[in-house]
Amino acid sequence: MDIFFSGSIRGGRSDVDIYARLIDVLEDHGTVLTEHVGTENVQEKEAEAGLTDDEIHDQDVAWLRQADVVVAEVTTPSLGVGYEVGRAVAWETPVHCLYRPDADHDLSAMIRGNDAVSVTEYRDPTDAVPELEAFLQAHR
């Protein structure tokens, strides 16, 4: 199973450790195409590789097209994450979002109100594992 993990990069990196923990869980169920989202210095690595914004976009869209499912951590608002979720929904790729309700921002109605997107609220990544695994099993 190819899994596209989406989490904020330019919108804020305060949740990078959570992303890494979630990616570890996802890797037990398939190939995480975007495991770099869980690394501390992802923007520096992109710059070192000489990737332009166009190349990053095209690469991410190609991975998104390849993915069997999308898992998005949506606690930190991010234009990129919203874009990826929207594209996945339009392509009818199953999407599961993870959100911590004690965050500074309320979850967007565009996510919570979308019947094509399932949402798990959690406090610690281990709390989200059962529902995340059920989502992955349902779309295997």
Q: What is the pLDDT of residues 102-115, one digit of tens each?
A: 999 999 999 999 99
Please give the pLDDT value at position 77. 93
CATH class of segment(s) 2-138: alpha beta
CA distance readout (Å), 103 to 13, 14, 38: 14, 12, 19
How sure is the predictor about 43, in pLDDT bands with cuts at 50, 70 and 90? low
Domains in the chain: boundaries: 2-138
Q: ∠ CA(134), CA(10), CA(126), 5° rounding?
A: 25
How sure is the predictor about 11, in pLDDT bands with cuts at 50, 70 and 90? confident
Pairing of strands 31-32, 2-6: parallel
